[in-house]
Amino acid sequence: MNYETGKLISVTSGETYSPFDGNCNALRIDKETFWTNRNSNSLEFLNHSCNANSYFDILRSWGNKDKLFIPLISLGPIHPSEHITIDYDAYSWDMKVTKCSFTCKCGSKFCRKTIAGFRFLNPKQKIQMRYISPHVIKEQLRNL
Ligand SMILES: [Zn+2]
């Protein structure tokens, strides 16, 4: 499929839980709340890129904690041959705490090499982020 900027790619449902259980594939949707789909493991196939072409729009999620639907939105035109990717730094303030930081090999010219959470980005990298989840924005403001 070909996606224009800002289009709905898919809607994924998952359950939320707390506290962190060691699953680095779970998406952090709030400071202490994680979201995953244990049945389909669909999140595990959504890789990180430092130049991601989509994002989970947490503010526009709906449902309840057992079945939370989060829309996946395109950040730019996506060619059918491209993999759908998200930027993990947009969802985590500090991945070192959860031991989920990793070395990135996304191949983008913007590759940040080490993905460890939003707090470790330099100001230029922070400005270049095209999506930042609400709880990460809150942490950023708290740490000014
Ligand atoms: Zn990268």
- CB-based neighbours (< 5 A) of ligand 1, an ion: 50, 104, 106, 111
pLDDT at position 9, please? 93
Contact 97, 22 (CB under 8 A): no
Centre of ligand 1 from the C-alpha of residue 8, in Å? 24
- pLDDT tens-place string over residues 12-29: 999 999 999 999 989 999
> Is CATH 2.40.50 the classification given to domain 8-142?
no
Contact 109, 134 (CB under 8 A): no
Instruction: Annotate 47-73 with DSSP letters as a single string.
Output: EE-TT-SEEE-GGG-EE-SSSEEEEEE
Q: What is the pTM of this model?
A: 0.93
Centre of ligand 1 from the C-alpha of residue 83, in Å? 14
| Residue listed under structure tokens 């709905």 | 8
